[in-house]
Structure 1
Amino acid sequence: MKYYKSRSIKVTIIKMTMVFTLILSVSISSICFISFESLLKNSLQLSTSSNLKLIMNSFTSNMTDVQTLARWCSMNYTLANYLTNEDDDKKISLEAWNRLSEEYRNNLAYYYIERVVVSNFEGKYLQATSRSTTKATKISEHIQESSYFDELYNDFTFKWVGLLPNDIGDNTKDLIIPIIRPIYNKSSPDKIGWVYISVTSNILTDALKLYSIPSDSKVYLTIEDKTYLIDNGKFSLTNDLDDVVSLNKKTAKSTIRTIRTESGKKETLVTYTSNLSGWSLSQTISASVFNKQKSMYIFIILLIIGIVMLLGVLLLIDLNRKINRPIYKIKKKLECVAKGDFSIDKEIEWDNELGTIGIGINKLSGDIAELINDKIQDEKERQSLEYQMLLSQINPHFLYNTLNSIKWMATIQNATGIAEMTTSLSRLMKSVSKDTNQIISIQQELDLLNNYFIIQKYRYGGTIRLDIHVIDEDLYQCQIPKFTLQPMVENAIFHGIEPKGSVGKIIITIDSLDDQTIQITIEDNGIGLSEEQISSILATNDNSSSGLFKKIGINNVNQRIRYAFGDNYGLQFHSKEGEYTIITILLPKLITPPA
């Protein structure tokens, strides 16, 4: 019967593995077939957007350099001086031309600037051109008479009118991007002339040459409200982008849309917008590239399915080999534990999940053995503790009665010091044994301190003095942890005044720091403390046998205050070696409720 159960578990594992593998394969196939098309489109769109970004960034960088040249011409003192000079001084003219030529040839976009003309409205002008460009005559009048001059000249910033024929160049078939900006007077905001810059269309086509464009993909350039189809370096106006079917995705710089071209075909269009106002570059997604990657994805899907099936078979073999034997050994070990054998069996601690169970069984065996030993030891200690408690049970009333008897005998014999010490000790003992409150009033704490100090005063023969100043009577009813002041005074006596070997004084001042805080200072004129001694006192408890309580040290007091009221309260030390020590205690101002 047991053998049948073992085999049934094995069969169950095999069935579950096979079902899991089949479900996983079908799920992966379904998910991949459903999502791969979207993933492919997103990948192509992202790749296209990145390529357009590189092209537009290169173009924008060059156009920014051209704009920099235009701004320089608008504000340059030398050019303004030339345009306003009425004497036609050749020295001024030569200086202006040299300065313009130098700036023109040093510009990073020099290769794409066909011509730079600086002129006033009376026809006086300078021009700098590339080596392959002829210097046309009457160019100032020709530019001013152009249809776009007033539009570009009067605009507040750079205005774009699109790609225009080069009417004043050597090859009128070439397209240029005209830029016209006003030139300002050197000493006033008045306009005294203008600068004309013609930029060749190569500034864009050269960037496109570095980018491989599939034959069935189209590239469009949009300048303000004009759209150009770029084909083999040629620009032609088109309305392909006017019919937008849907907006698929939009980010700060990129836009993905579905458009219907003039031929009626729907295509996915990726557009990247330049930092130059009104400029953008668009490209349609290539169907051939998509189909090619689609075939590759189908192959990858089939490969994944095959790998999953193979892994399922290997998993089945591995489970069949690794599960039956470990389960049998774990079962035998549990039978031994049930019979009282708590020995550790390292053979069941494999490096897998079953090994974790084996480690747990070994730990359980060890814990049971340790628990039995601890139980025996605890029983022995309990019997010993009961015996010691019987020895230490002294009736507190017997102790108080004895101290009272000593007090009355001392009073009868006129030994007032002994009577006073005995009374103080009796009160201290009664407070310790009967009053279990951990938080008491400052009045009660001062009473405990006075009882303690009376004993110390007689011990040191009156060589120490304690002065207590409570600034406000209401402070007597504020809360303080029990036995807070006694360890402070004890520390001042034992570590400050006693080593000094002379008369000592301790001053305790209780005052309000603010409406929420009480400040208690304990000052002594002892030998003082070093920084190392202060750190040591705050870090460890002083369990000296000479103190009233072994377990209540300065660090203990500090910790009790923090535990009771928070980290904003506690002890602070200020000391000067050989002169004094001041301990400051900060407490919250809390009134002790009436008993």
Structure 2
Amino acid sequence: MNLSTLRRWLWPQTSFQGKIFMAFGLITFLSIVSVTAIVYVNMRETIKHNAVTSVSDSIRQADESLNVMLEEIDRLNTVVVTNKNTVINTIMSPNEEPSYEWFLEQKRITEYLSGLIQYKPYISRMAVVGLNGKVFFTGGPWMDRSVLGTPMLNYMLHNGSRHAYFKPEGTADAITVGREIRYNRETVGIVMVDLDYDFIKKTYGVKPTADSMLYVLDEQNGYVYQSESAPSSYAPPLDRIIQIKGKLAGDNDVVEQKINGRSYIVVSRHSEYTGWSTLALIPLDSLLSESTRIRNLMTEVSIIVFIVILIGSHQVSSRTTINIRRLRSMMMQVKDGNLSFPRTEIHSKDEIGQLYRVFISMVDELKRLMEGIRLSEKKKREAELTALQAQIRPHFLYNSLNTIKYLAKLNGVPNIEEVSGSLIELMRGLLGNSNEFLTLREELDYVNSYISIVKYKYLEPIEVHTQIEDDALLDCRVLKLMLQPLVENAIMHGIGPSGEGGFVLIRVYAEHQELRIEVTDNGRGMTQDQIDALLGAADREEMPSRFSSMGVRNANERIVRMFGESYGLSLYSEPGLYTKVEIRFPQIRNSDQSDQEVV
């Protein structure tokens, strides 16, 4: 693996691909570990539960089977001890061995016992032992009067009022079940039945694992049964088994116990019928050896799957982010100022494809804007040059008009002097003042200058009167060139065409905290269509004069745009009588437009 390949695999976590790869790998790793751990733990618990259930059921079934045998034996013993003619009379008979009578008695009782245990394969021997030394039995092994005085017989005599169980020390071929034979409230003998030990082995042959151990203890904590195949190195001594039995909480308990450094599952059961306790010791390591093998196999498979998923996730993340890397490369070109970079087409329909198309459109728009900026800068430089040139023209024009005014005064031509002076004042206000707002007084001065110029155009005098309700209103701020277009429209299109003299009334007053200005003339008036055309509601070709109507409409639009639909111009007219234009304007007394104070 070369350096570039290693670098691609060890992708920095700051990259999008690296984050996807690391996140996918981490999630996969945690998922595999979690699933493997959960499966392994559940499998262990399932194996333990199944083993405990199986052993418990087997012990229960073995105990129940043994109880059935013992109950059957107990019924046989009951039959024997209650048979007076064949059993009790034979035991108490004075006939002794050897004699013919004794031989007949022995034959009779032997046949009787043989009939009882016939078809009972789990019974190896049945015997009747009289305390007077008479011994009768059927089956094997041989029994004679030497049984008298043995621990087994003594045990039977002390515990055989109902039934007694005894396993001779050092023998492993039978379990003896005995019961007293009583006559006239005195014990005259013992009936004993030997249970074949092979049936015990088969009954308690519970082995979930090869080295499992099972112990059956009687009420005196002596072995009734012990697993023979248990390794001697692992088999605990009797005192340890008794100690474990004492620690069990109940008759049917399951605990985990450590014995000689090895962990066991101990399953116990206590028989109410016999009083015996059964303990099954299952080594955990042997029981879970298969689960350990499966765990190792699962670990190996998980590692292989994890490696395959890592390789797949690297490929998926690489394919997923290849378009992102292409888009990033193009963005870096734009960052360096290269808007004509070679474009790598991204045809995907997902979000990356959408982002690419938005980015390309943004770059195209940026190129268009930058081209527009270059053109704007070029036009700006041209405009600056034009403005520099135009800066000279007003001064030249003012000086020229002043010269004309001076010459008119020297030659005694007052009308030319008046027109020149009015034109100077009008141009100085229009060209020299860049403010959008003026006081009403200044606006009226411009109107008067305009009237002084235009009145010489007509033969008949045109009277212009101004009515100011309150001189304080002259300090209100109004839009520049708001009145002049209205007066011009009244003179040129209202009074002028009639060829007769007329008058124009400019009335200024306040109403509802608004500044109201009325411009009324006694000219020829207008129709409603002409009013609509003047305000721009009709086709512009029907306008009486392009420039005058543009001034009126412009004044209305400026007021509405700045102060809202509740302000503006209203026209009232009667053809042949009059025309009145009413301006509604807020009372503004602040000279700064940004700090207008509407009263």
TM-score class, shorter-chain normalisation, is 0.3 to 0.5
TM-score (norm. length: structure 1): 0.43
Who wins on radius of gyration, i.e. which is larger? Answer: 2
